[in-house]
Amino acid sequence: MFDKVEGNWVRVFHSVYAVLLHVFLLDICIPFGIYYCMLIAENRMTIDNRKNILECAVHLFATRGYDAVGIQEIVAAAGITKPTLYHYFGNKQGLLEALLHEHTRQLLADLRFATDYRGDLTLSLTNIVKVYFRFAQQHRAFYRMQLAMWFAPPDNVSFQIVAELNQEQHQLIEGLFIQATEQHGNMRGRHRRYAATFLGTINTYVTLALNDYAELNDALIHTLVHQFMYGILS
């Protein structure tokens, strides 16, 4: 008798367990899984849209110029609508600011490390050139774009935005020359001039490379650094 009652309870338990498992899977797990997948897809779409807009913008700005490119041209190239661009960046200026921030974040991080003077000026300058050459090789269109903006009229929006970026780079390189004056006393008070000249020389060689007149390699790095060192120490 007890075996029969126990068997009935086992069957009831299994039936209740099966019903609860069914409810759990259909009403909780599957909807949650669908919702989770939707969140992932939405997040991926957000990242892809934003990245796509930035890539289209840098190409258009580099080839046509910031002022010549309108919002409509950007959204058409990216295959999106204007509200989508406004959602991510607010306006054209916000797009440019985001573009500069995205591309130069790693550049500035590498430059901060390279400009930390360790007692060897030639080595420090070599490391700085390597940072810029590597960046130019990885972001050719962006480098060309920001160089063009640097030579825009001072009241131009693109120049004003790029000027902030260039100022930070100049300050880091100036800081290196200031630190180096303890070993190279003849450089004292000339840090701004040296920073501007050195960065200008780097950009000149990068421009030649972007136009296929030079190759950014170790030999060019050696030539650039030693020409500069000869000029400031002679």
Instruction: Identify the CATH number of the domain in which residue 112 sits.
Output: 1.10.357.10
Q: Domain with 14 in it: what CATH number?
A: 1.10.10.60
In terms of C-beta density within 10 A (0-12 exposed, 13-18 middle, 19 or more buried), how is residue 85 classed? buried
What is the sign of the dihedral through the CA atoms of 73, 78, 84 and 86? Answer: negative
Kindly report the number of other CB atoms within 10 A of residue 89's CB atom: 21
Tell whether 168 and 102 lie within a shared domain.
yes
Tell whether 211 and 142 lie within a shared domain.
yes
Alpha helices in the chain (DSSP H): 2-23, 30-64, 71-78, 82-89, 92-114, 121-138, 140-150, 157-180, 191-210, 218-233
Residue 92 pLDDT greater than 60, yes or no = yes
Residue 43 pLDDT greater than 50, yes or no = no
What average pLDDT does range 203-226 have in this prediction? 95
Residue 207 pLDDT greater than 90, yes or no = yes
**Predicted local distance difference test score (pLDDT) of residue 127:** 97
Tell whether 64 and 172 lie within a shared domain.
no
Domain end (from 27, 50, 85): 85
**Predicted local distance difference test score (pLDDT) of residue 203:** 95
Each residue's pLDDT tens digit, 99-144: 999 999 999 999 999 999 998 999 999 999 999 999 999 999 999 9
Tell whether 112 and 191 lie within a shared domain.
yes
Tell whether 109 and 155 lie within a shared domain.
yes
What average pLDDT does range 155-159 have in this prediction? 92
Tell whether 29 and 103 lie within a shared domain.
no
Domain end (from 59, 85, 111): 85
Tell whether 77 and 18 lie within a shared domain.
yes
Residue 36 pLDDT greater than 80, yes or no = no
What's the whole-number average pLDDT of the chain? 83
Greatest Cα pair distance in the chain: 110
- 28 DSSP 8-state letter: I
Tell whether 175 and 192 lie within a shared domain.
yes
Domain end (from 85, 106, 128): 85
* In the block, residue with structure tokens 């100022």: 167
Structural domains in the chain (count): 2
Residues belonging to the chain: 234
Kindly report the number of other CB atoms within 10 A of residue 137's CB atom: 15
Query: Could you tell me the pLDDT band of residue 34, with boundaries at 50, 70 and 90?
Result: very low
* pTM for this model (two decimals): 0.77
Tell whether 131 and 195 lie within a shared domain.
yes
Closest among 195, 197, 217 to 206, alpha carbons compared: 217
**If you compute the radius of gyration of the chain from its CA atoms, what whole number of angstroms results?**
29
Q: Which two tokens stand for residue 8?
A: 């009935």
Tell whether 162 and 215 lie within a shared domain.
yes
Tell whether 113 and 15 lie within a shared domain.
no
Kindly report the number of other CB atoms within 10 A of residue 232's CB atom: 18
Q: Which domain holds residue 8?
A: 2-85
Query: Could you tell me the pLDDT band of residue 234, with boundaries at 50, 70 and 90?
Result: low
Q: Kindly state the percentage of the chain with pLDDT values over 90.
A: 64
**Predicted local distance difference test score (pLDDT) of residue 26:** 53
With both helix axes pointing from N to C terminus, report the angle between 92-114 and 121-138 in degrees, rounded to the nearest 10. 150
